[in-house]
Structures are given as C-alpha cells and as structure tokens.
C-alpha cells in the first residue's frame, strides 16, 4: 500500500555556519522527518554524528527522527540511538551476518519502541530480503554509494524500488520505501513514479530556500 509522501531532509547537508537559522526554517515546512546519518569510519569512510547531536536536533525541531546507521556493528549502536531519541533506526543488511540476524535486529529495534528499517548499498540485491519485509517498517534504497553527500543519482536503483513496490502491494504490507542520494525535483519524480513514498533530500533542500525546496518535492505526489 503506497502511503502519503514524506520528505526527510538530511542534516548531513546543513550549512553548519547557519544551523539555527536553517533548523528554524525547516521547522516551518511540511517536511515530517529529519534524516540523520550516522557513520563510524569503518562501514563507510567517513565520520559523522553521535547520539548527543541527535538529542540536540530533537530539541530543535518537531520532526520524526529518521536515523540511518552506516556502521559495522548495528546491534551495538541501535539501542544507543533509540535512547537518544531515534524514532526510526535503519541499519545496513551488509552489516549483519545473515537474514536471520537481520530479522532479529529488526525485532530488537521494534521492542525498544522505534520503527525498524533496513538499507542496502547499490550493488546489493534485495531478493533474499523480500520474504521478510513484514519484519520491517522502512526499506531504504541507496541511490548513491553511502558515505558522502552531494553525489549523483543512480537511476538503475529504481529497479529495486519497483520490485519492492510490487512485493509490498501484492502482500498488502505497511512498509515505506525510502530513497536516499541525489534527490532533486527531477529524480524525485522518477523515484515517486517507481514507487517511493519517502524521499531523503540533503543538498537540494539546504542549498536553496528550504520551504520552497520542500514544497517543490511535495507537489510531485
């Protein structure tokens, strides 16, 4: 079942010389989620935010905290970020040993009061995961290689979106399809047409008027 379109601006692309101003602007928009990327320098070659930063953002905006943990040990980090205020925790399928471990971590996240998401790198197939989608609340498709903002959209990843949409609709599942990487007005339209209902947008939102950027994406629904 395709759901209402949600925009999740990514704080990775905030102008850190204007954080307070941009967060105040963001709080006045119709964006419902804030996408918060956690990187450990191991799973991806970059370091970003810790749980204390998440606590600060949660105080600054009235939004769903959508936390994407790009880490080698998601079992360790997931509870830490839930305690810090994550409403959704999405981890990478590549960071767990098996589909059984993936399902177990989804169940742990849900038991701690958050929604569970799973993500895959662009080169990772999703067929093995499809029969277990009912254990998840969100499936995040990476349309760039994870680790850095500002990359170009990988259009071939829309094939995964179409496969997910077909499976979710056929089995009447309540699972969101989120996409992250290179999202702008053009690629957002392609993603929505393929079946996405949740768009992560960083540079596109924060490198122009925040309100206008969010509205330009929402009007595509």
Which has the closest alpha carbon to 22: 65, 64, 57, 67? Answer: 57
Has 180 been annotated as catalytic?
Answer: yes
Q: Which of 40, 66, 180, 197 is flagged as catalytic?
A: 180
Q: Which of 37, 40, 66, 137 is flagged as catalytic?
A: 37
Has 37 been annotated as catalytic?
Answer: yes
Is residue 195 within 8 A of residue 177, CB to CB? The reply is: yes
Is residue 5 within 8 A of residue 218, CB to CB? The reply is: yes
Is residue 166 within 8 A of residue 184, CB to CB? The reply is: no
Is residue 192 within 8 A of residue 178, CB to CB? The reply is: no
Which has the closest alpha carbon to 79: 109, 39, 123? Answer: 109
- Distance between CA atoms of residues 215 and 218, nearest Å: 5
Active-site residue list: 37, 180
């Amino acid at each position: 079942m395709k759901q209402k379109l949600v925009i999740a601006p990514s704080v990775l692309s905030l102008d850190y010389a204007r954080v307070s101003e941009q967060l105040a602007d963001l709080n006045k928009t119709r964006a419902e989620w804030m996408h918060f990327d956690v990187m450990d320098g191991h799973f991806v070659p970059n370091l970003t935010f810790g749980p204390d930063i998440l606590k600060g953002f949660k105080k600054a905006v009235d939004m769903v905290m959508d936390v994407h943990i790009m880490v080698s040990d998601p079992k360790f980090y997931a509870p830490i970020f839930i305690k810090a205020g994550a409403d959704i925790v999405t981890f990478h399928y590549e960071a767990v040993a098996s589909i059984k471990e993936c399902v177990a971590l989804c169940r742990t996240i849900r038991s701690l009061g958050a929604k569970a998401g799973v993500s895959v790198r662009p080169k990772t197939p999703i067929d093995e995961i499809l029969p277990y989608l009912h254990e998840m609340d969100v499936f995040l498709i990476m349309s760039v290689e994870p680790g850095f903002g500002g990359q170009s959209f990988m259009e071939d990843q829309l094939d995964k979106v179409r496969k997910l949409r077909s499976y979710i609709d056929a089995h009447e599942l309540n699972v969101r399809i989120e996409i992250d990487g290179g999202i702008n007005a053009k690629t957002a339209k392609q993603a929505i047409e393929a079946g996405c209902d949740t768009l992560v947008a960083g540079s596109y939102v924060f490198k122009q008027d925040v309100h206008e950027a969010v509205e330009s994406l929402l009007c595509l629904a």
